[in-house]
Amino acid sequence: MSRESDFYLRRLHSLLGVIPVGLFVAQHLVINHFATRGEEAFNNASNFMGNLPFVLFLEWFIIYIPLMFHAFYGVYIAFTAKNNVQRYGTFRNWMFMLQRITGVLLVIFIAWHIWETRIQKALGTEVNYDMMAGILSSPFMLVFYIVGVLAATFHLANGLWSFAVTWGIAQSPRSQKIVSYITIGVFLVLSVIGIQALLAFV
C-alpha cells in the first residue's frame, strides 16, 4: 500500500475529529442535557433534532461519513503504535496511549449506540425518553454508557490539544502547556454535562 498520502490523511483525520465530529459530540451532549428538565423537555428536543429539514443529508455528511473516516483511519493509527508507558511514564505519553485506547473503545461503543438508537428508529421504533430510560435501567448498560461518554469527552478534549499541535497553532512548550490546561477544562465541563444527562434517565 502506498503511504504517500498519509500526511494528508492524518491532517484530514485531525480536522474531521474537531469539525464536524467534535462539534457534533458537544452538541449531542448539550441536547441530551434536556433530560435533566424532565421527560417532556427531552422528547421535544429529540423530536426537534430528529425532524430537522434535510435530516438524512445532515446525518450523512455531518456525522456518518466524517465519523466513519475518523473511526476507521483512527483504528489504523492506534494499531501502528508501539506503546511504551513503562519506559516513559510521562503525562503526554500516557495521553498518547489513552487517546488510542479510548478511540478503539469508542468505535465499539458508538457502533452499539447507533445500533440501539438510530438503527432501531429506522426499523420503526420510536426514539424517546422511555427508550433511553429502558436501556439505562440495566446497571451494566449504565456503566457502559458512562464509560462511553467519558471516553468520548476525553478523546475530544485531548484531540483538541493534538489538533492545536498538529496544525502548528501551539508551537512553544509554554503554549502547549496552556492548551493542555484549557483542554482539561473542556474535558471536565463536557463530562459533567454528559454524566448529568445520563443520570437524569435513571
Partner 1 sequence: MTQQTAVQEQQVASKTVKFEIQRQDTPESAPYFEKFEIPYRPNMNVISALMEIRRNPVNAEGKKTTPVNWDMNCLEEVCGACSMVINGRPRQSCTALVDQLTQPIKLEPMRTFPVVRDLVVDREFMFDSLKRIKAWIPIDGTYDLGEGPRMPERKRQWTYELSKCMTCGVCLEACPNVNDKTNFIGPALLSQVRLFNAHPTGSMNKDERLATIMSDGGLGECGNSQNCVVACPKGIPLTTSIAALNRDTTVQMFKNFFGSDHMVD
Binding interface with partner 1 (CB under 8 A): 2-4, 6-11, 77, 79-84, 86-88, 90, 92-93, 95-97, 162, 165-173, 176
What number of other Cβ atoms are within 10 A of residue 30's Cβ?
14
Q: Are 104 and 96 in contact (CB under 8 A)?
A: no
Task: Identify whether the C-beta of residue 113 lies closer than 8 Å to the C-beta of residue 148.
Answer: yes
What's the CA gap between 123 and 84, in Å, rounded? 45
Q: Which three cell numbers stand for residue 74?
A: 483512527
Q: How far apart are CA 175 and CA 168, in angstroms?
A: 11
Least Cβ distance, residue 43 to partner 1 (angstroms): 42
Q: Least Å distance between CB 2 and partner 1? A: 7
Residue of 74, 92, 78, 57 whose CA lies nearest to 22: 74
Distance of closest approach, residue 92 Cβ to partner 1, in angstroms: 4
Q: Collapsing DSSP states into helix, strand and coil, what is residue 99?
A: helix
Minimum CB separation from partner 1 for residue 157, in Å? Answer: 14
CB-nearer residue toward partner 1: 9 or 58: 9
